[in-house]
Structures are given as structure tokens and as C-alpha cells.
Amino acid sequence: MHILISNDDGVRAPGIAALARAMLPFGKVTVVAPSENQSATGHRKTMHKPLRIDEVQFPVEGVRAYATSDSPSDSVAVALLGFVEEPVDLVVSGINRGPNMGQDLTYSGTVSAAFEAVIWHKPAMAFSLDNFADDADYSAAAAVAQQLVGMEIYRRLPPLTLFNVNVPNLPLDQIKGFKVVRQGLREYNDELIRRTDPYGRPYYWIGGAAPTGDTTQEGTDLWALHEGYVSITPIHLDLTNHSLLLDMQRWGLTKATPGETRDLPVSEAEHPAAKRNGS
């Protein structure tokens, strides 16, 4: 096999080295990742400035590694568009410093690298560890990644789908097992911090405490990780709310004329989520 590895913590992050080392038993491993930390950059594509790619020394023998000047999705795109000449069989992203659960997936550069892979019709898996510390131990997460890749579950992925995997911050022998789960509900504790630069001009910083979330809903990624399980969630790039499509057929939208003013019959009875969402 030929496995392409990327991440959003940067090509020199310890998590990507642990993942590359874990993938070596399966064949050739190539790393293409951002030169600097690109956490929470989302699925960003660079279109209006040049991308630079430099080969870098990598701490895993037998692995060639390249640093790109921009986002994780750029890294995967340039690799699959021809910078890496040998065909790639699997794209693996991570191991991310900190979990990627719930709405985190819309922000995560690590998951976005896997998104980019499935856009180019390559199977992909994203791995994250529930530990934000600089000195986090990635050995258990690397062993989990090696086990899941060895089980070849990626070969069963339908089009435009990836596996998002979160590993609890526990020794391998204390992890309870695997749970196949849906996305949970994150709660963000962001704060807008206003400061003044040396020239008297205001600047702003989005800070605050780490995100939390509902760990009580059984069957979600937040619940599984909280209970000491590895969470595995299939993520599909079709973002359509298919159940809402059926409701919308009853709203009369297709009978309205553009420019016409009319009330739409949206009620809690027709769409219970309207009340929950405050609409």
C-alpha cells in the first residue's frame, strides 16, 4: 500500500510522527502537511496565491515528508493532484492534538484533510486524541489507528464518506472498546477579548475555555469518549437535511412566485425543530 498522511497541527507535530510510524507496516508512507499549526482552519483552499512545498527532515525512518505553506486541505490536494507521483491507496489524517467531535468537524483542519481526500475519490480516516497537552502520549491512539487500518474498514466506505475516529486519553489496556456513533452536540465557551496594540489601535482575540458538550446522550461521539470508548463516526459530505426536505414540500415554496410576499405555514406541528431552534 501507499498511505498519504496529513494533519492540521503541522508537519513537526508529535501526533503525525506517531501516526506515520504506525502506518509503516502496511507499506510506503508519505507525509504532506502544513509547515505550521493550522488548527481550526476548516476546509480552506488556496486559490489566489502560490503554494510552497519543501521537503523536511522527519523523525520516522523511511518516511519522506513535505511541508506546505498553507492549509491541510491544500496539502492533500497538491499531493493527490500530482505532487506525489505514486498512486495513493489511503489517506490518513492526524493524530490530532485534541478531539474532533460534534460541530468541531466544521472547524477541524484534520478532518478537512480527510474531506479533501474523499472529494478526490480516495478512502480517508481522521484520528484525534482527547488530550490538548504538548507532551501528550500518542502511543495508544497510534495503536488504535494501526488496528483499524489493519481491519481494512476503509475499504467498505461508500463514496464521499470518511471515518472520524476519536481516542480517549487512556492507556491502551484501559480503553473499553469501540463504539460506532453519531455526532454529538458541542457547547462552545468562546469569549471576545479586546486589547490595544502599541499604537493605540484595538485588536480582538477569540478566546475562552475549551469546548464542552452533552456527554449523557448515549450513541454520540461525546458520550463514547467520555465513557472510555473509541468513537467511530461515518461522515458524509452530503450536508442536505433530507428529513427537512419532506417538510419543505408542505410549505408551499414551490408554488410561490419570486418576488411574491406570502406567509409560509411553518409551525411546530409541521417541524418540531423550529421551536427548539428559537424560530
- At residue 276, does pLDDT exceed 60? no
Q: Which of 103, 150, 144, 151 is nearest to 126 (CA)?
A: 144
DSSP codes of every residue in 84-117: S-SPPSEEEEEEEES---TTHHHH-HHHHHHHHH
Taking a C-beta distance cutoff of 8 angstroms, is the pair 94, 9 a contact? no
Taking a C-beta distance cutoff of 8 angstroms, is the pair 163, 122 a contact? no
Query: Measured between alpha carbons, how far is 33 from 176 in angstroms, rounded to an integer?
Result: 32
Which grid coordinates are listed for 60?
520516522
Question: To the nearest 10°, the Cα dihedral for 133, 17, 58, 46?
Answer: -80
For the four alpha carbons of 129, 67, 29 and 108, in that order, the dihedral sign comes to positive
- At residue 267, does pLDDT exceed 70? no
Taking a C-beta distance cutoff of 8 angstroms, is the pair 251, 264 a contact? yes
pLDDT at 279: 44
At 120-158, the pLDDT tens digits run 999 999 999 999 999 999 999 999 999 999 999 999 999
pLDDT at 256: 74
Strand-strand pairing, 161-167 and 178-180: unpaired
**Average pLDDT for residues 82-103, to the nearest whole number?**
96
- Phi, psi for 22 (deg, rounded to 5): -70, -25
Count of CA atoms in the C-beta half-sphere (13 A) of 168: 21
- At residue 229, does pLDDT exceed 80? yes
Question: Residue 177's CB: how many other CB atoms inside 10 A?
Answer: 9
Distance of CA 245 to the CA centre of its chain: 26
- At residue 168, does pLDDT exceed 60? yes
- At residue 207, does pLDDT exceed 70? yes
Q: Which residues of 135-174 are buried (b: 16+ CB within 10 A; e: fewer)?
A: ebebebbbebbbebbeeebbeebeeebbbbbbbbbbeeee
- At residue 270, does pLDDT exceed 60? no
Mean pLDDT, all residues of the chain: 92
For the four alpha carbons of 48, 49, 55 and 59, in that order, the dihedral sign comes to negative
State the pLDDT confidence band at 5, using cuts at 50, 70 and 90.
Answer: very high
Least confident of 89-98, 148-157, 249-258: 249-258
Least confident of 43-52, 95-104, 176-185, 217-226: 43-52
In sequence order, which residues have a C-beta less than 8 Å from that of residue 146 and are 6 or more positions away?
22, 23, 25
State the pLDDT confidence band at 3, using cuts at 50, 70 and 90.
Answer: very high
- At residue 278, does pLDDT exceed 80? no
**Average pLDDT for residues 47-63, to the nearest whole number?**
94
Query: Measured between alpha carbons, how far is 128 from 234 in angstroms, rounded to an integer?
Result: 14
For the four alpha carbons of 199, 200, 201 and 202, in that order, the dihedral sign comes to positive
**Upstream peptide bond of 193 is cis (omega within 30 degrees of 0):** no
**Average pLDDT for residues 195-212, to the nearest whole number?**
94
Question: Residue 50's CB: how many other CB atoms inside 10 A?
Answer: 7
State the pLDDT confidence band at 258, using cuts at 50, 70 and 90.
Answer: confident
pLDDT at 271: 53
